[in-house]
Structure 1
C-alpha cells in the first residue's frame, strides 16, 4: 500500500530566559538571542501529541522550503568551544566561528517505535493503586513471611504429670458363614481349618441360588446429534492508518504513514455431528456360597495409670486366635504464656516405659503452639 511521508517540526525551551515552545528552525532564542545548547530542555524537542490508535502526529506537517531545507541538513552538532548548536551541513560554528572538531557532540535521538503510553491516572486514584500493590505484596510475600514466623521454634522445660495405658485381647473364631458373589468370580475351593490360630483357608463351597442381577452400567453409542458452539475468530474488516516516526536529530522528525489491513473479532457458530451416548445396565449372575471368616467371640480389657502395662488373661482353643490391641498416653505440662498441657502417644510398650510420672522433659514448640518434639531429660 502507498506510503505517505511528511516532516514534523519540534519545539524547544530556552533555559536562559525561560521562553517556551521555540520552533526547531531557530538555533537561537528569538527573545534573548542565546544559542541552543546541549542541555536537557534545549536539546530535547517536543513533537506534540500523537493519536493513540494510529500513532499519527496531531501537528501539521512542514511545507515551507526553508524549514524543509533545515530538516534535510543532517543532525545538529554542538560546538566543542562554545557549546552552541549548528546545523549539520555547516563546517563552522554559527555562534563563535570555530571549526567542527571530532569532539563536537550531537544530541541523542528520540525513539518512536511504539505509540506513546496513555496518560497517567489522576492523583485521586493513586490510593487505590497503593491498596492494590499492598494486596499483591501480602498475597505473594505475606504468606511466606508468616510461614517463617509460624515455623520458628522455642525450647521449654516440662514435666510428666501422668501416664496411662489400655490393653485388650480379642478372641476370634473361624466361623462358617454364607456370602454372595458373582458367578464368574467364584471357584470351588475346599476350606482348611486353622491350627493354633494359623494356616487357615476360607474356601468356597456349595455355590447355589444363582440369579441375574444388575452388576453396573456401561456407556453405549445411541446415534448422533448436531452440536453447535459459539466461537470467535479474527477477520479482515477494512483498513486503518498506522504511522511511525524517525528523529532526524535536528528538531525535525520524519513521519511515514500507510494503510494496513484492520482485523476484527467476529462470532460464528461451529456445528458438527457428535456421537450421543447413553448408559445401559449390565447384568450378571450372582450366587450364594459357603465360606469361613474370623469372628469375635470374646474380649477382655485392662487399663492402668502410672504403672507397668499388662495383658488381660483370656484362654483360647486350638481353632481360635487372639488379636491384641494397645494404646498408651503420657501427659506433660510446661510454661508457655501460662500452663500448657501436651499429650504424647508412644507407639509401643518400650517407648511408653521410658516415661515416668514426675520425670523432666524438653519440648520443642512453634510460635503457633504446636509441639514438634518431646525428649526426656
Structure 2
C-alpha cells in the first residue's frame, strides 16, 4: 500500500509579549524579537487537532522548500554559550558563532505517535463520587465494628424461673373415601383394617364411572419447515486512511498516511431444514374408585408448669390410631444490666425433667443480648 508523507509545521507562543501561534520557522518572536527559549512553554509546539478516526492532522502540510529543508534538518540544538536555538544541520551558532560541542543540548519532543488516537486517561473521581465512596467505606467499617463488638461474650449466672410442657394427642381414623385414577393404573384389591393402629391396607374397590378424558399432550412430526436465522459477518468494503505522526524535535512533525482495508458488518440469512412438530392431545380412561385413608378426627391438648408432664386422655376406636406431639420450655432469668430471660427448649422428657426450678445456670451472653447455656466445656 502506497504511503503518503507530509510535514506539519507547529506553532509556539512568546512568553515575553504574549504573541501567539508563531510559526516554528521563527526562532525569535516577530513582535518583540525575544529568542525562543530552550525549555518551558516556548519549546512546546502545538500541531493542531487530528481526525479521531484516521489520526490525520487537520492542518495543511508545508510545501515550500525552506520549510521542508528546516523539517529535514534534524533536532534543534541550543548553544552552550548564548542558549540560542539553531538548526540541527548547522555546526555553528547563528547568534554568537560558537561551534556546536558534544555538550550542546538538543530539543526533545518525543518520538512516533500511535496509529490510533489514544484513549483519554481516566477522569479523576469527582468530589461527589469520592464522597459517596468514603460514605460506603464508612458504613462497611461501622457494620464491621458492630459485628465484632456484638460477638464479644461475657459470662453470667442465671436461674431457672419456670418450666413448661405441652402435650398433644391427635386421633386419626381409617376411613373410606372416593378418589379418581387412570383405569390402567387401577387394580382391584381388598382393603384391610388396622389392628391397634397399624397393619392397614388402603385397597381399591368399586371401580366405576369410567370415561375418556385428556391426560396430556404429545409432540408428533408434521413434515418439515425452513428455519432462517439472521447473522452478521465482516466483509471488506473499501479502504480507510490511517496516519502516524513523528515529531522531528525542531518544530515540525512528519505525518505518514497509508490506505488500509476497511471491514463492514453484513447481515445474511443462515437457513436450515428442520422437522416440524404439532401438539396432539393424549386421552385415557379416568375412573372413580373407593379406598381408605387416615384422616384426623379429634385433637386433645394438655399443658402445665409442673414437673409431671401428662398425656391427654383420648381413647382410640377399633379403626383408630393416636399421634402424639410434645414440646418443652425452660425459662432462665438473669441480670445483665436489667432483668432478662433466656428460653431453652429440651428435646425429650428426660432432658426436661433434669431441670429444676431455682437451679443455677451458667450463661454466655454476647453484646447483642443473645444468651447460650454453658454445659461443661460446651455451649448450647
In the superposition, the TM-score normalised over structure 2's length comes to 0.68
Structure 1, unaligned stretches of length 5 or more? none
Corresponding residue of 2:377: none
Aligned residues: 363
1:105 and 1:160, CA in 2 relative to 1: closer, same or farther beyond 3 A? farther
* Cα distance in 2 for residues equivalent to 1:312 and 1:112: 94
Inter-partner Cα distance in structure 2 for 1:10 and 1:193: 108
**Residue 168 of structure 1: CA displacement?**
0.4
Structure 2 residue corresponding to 1:115, chosen from 114, 117, 122? 117
Alignment of 1:317-328 (within 5 A): 320-328=320-328
Is 1:348 matched with 2:347?
A: yes
Indicate how the Cα distance of structure 1 residues 66 and 103 shifts in structure 2: closer, same or farther if over 3 A, else same.
closer
Q: Distance in 2 between matches of 1:80 and 1:61?
A: 33
Q: Report how far residue 8 of structure 1 moved.
A: 0.2
Residues 1:43 and 2:40 aligned together:
no
CA distance in structure 2 between the partners assigned to 1:279 and 1:359 by the alignment: 73
Match of 2:245, SS state, is: strand
Contact 2:330–2:355, Cα closer than 8 Å, also in 1: no
Q: Bigger shift: 9-18 or 47-56?
A: 9-18
Q: What is the alpha-carbon distance in structure 2 between the residues aligned to residue 296 and residue 69 of structure 1?
A: 109
Instruction: Report 1:218-367 matches (<5 A).
Output: 218-222=218-222, 239-260=239-260, 277-305=277-305, 309-316=309-316, 320-328=320-328, 346=345, 348-349=347-348, 350=351, 363-364=365-366
Is the CA contact (8 Å cut-off) linking 1:362 and 1:374 kept in structure 2? yes
Q: Give the Cα separation in 2 of the matches to 1:305 and 1:65.
A: 114
Contact 2:166–2:328 (CA under 8 A) maintained in structure 1: yes
- CA displacement 1:163-214 (0-9 Å, x = unmatched): 654320113344454433334444566666655544x353544473344322
Instruction: Tell me how far 1:247 sits from its aligned partner.
Output: 1.9
Secondary structure in 2 matching 1:50: coil
- Deviation track 1:236-291 (CA, whole Å, cap 9, x = no partner) reads 66555443322223221112234455556677777777766544322223344554
Q: Which runs of 5+ in 2 are unaligned?
A: 375-380
Give the Å deviation of 1:138: 9.2
Query: Tell me, what secondary structure is at the counterpart of 1:58?
Result: coil
217-226 or 352-361: which moved more?
352-361
Supply the RMSD in Å over aligned alpha carbons.
5.1
Cα contact 2:330–2:346 (8 A) shared by 1: no
Displacement after TM superposition at 1:5 (Å): 1.8
Distance 2:49 2:102 in 1: 36
Q: Could you give the per-residue CA deviations for residues 54-74 of structure 1, whole angstroms, max 9, x where no partner exists?
A: 332222211121221121122
Partners of 1:81 and 1:141 in 2: CA distance: 59
TM-score (norm 1): 0.69
Q: Secondary structure at the match of 1:313?
A: coil
Q: What is the match of residue 208 of structure 1?
A: 207
Q: 2:371 aligns with which of 356, 366, 374?
A: 374
Aligned-residue offset at 1:6: 1.0
